[in-house]
Amino acid sequence: MNEDYQESGRQSSVLSFEESCTGRSDQAVWTVVCKVDGEIKGTGTATTKAEAKNLASKQALEALGESTA
């Protein structure tokens, strides 16, 4: 996501992710929040951290008016 965001001409913005995990290790649920300049733009929840981050990134891109295709 970071590369796509930078290519769109918004290099001066700060992109950050916050990750949290709940549940037992064999039933973990990851939640990742994607922030742009400190403002939440996307949230993803999944059974893997990578998928949660991917979902949060896609939601953030959509919120910023970028294509996720």
Look at residue 67 in the predicted model and tell me its pLDDT: 74
Per-residue confidence band for 69, with pLDDT thresholds at 50, 70 and 90: low
What does residue 39 show for φ and ψ, rounded to 5 degrees? -100, 130
* Six-digit token string for 32: 């990742």
What is the pTM for the complete model shown?
Answer: 0.79
Domain boundaries along the sequence of the chain: 2-63
Q: What is the largest CA-CA distance in the chain?
A: 41
Query: What would the pLDDT profile of 28-58 be if each residue is shown by its tens digit?
Result: 999 999 999 999 999 999 999 999 999 999 9
Q: Which CATH number fits domain 2-63: 3.40.50.2300, 3.30.160.20, 3.40.50.970, 3.40.605.10?
A: 3.30.160.20
Dist CA 54 CA 48 (whole Å): 10
The strands making up 29-36's β-sheet, listed across from edge to edge, are: 15-22, 29-36, 39-46
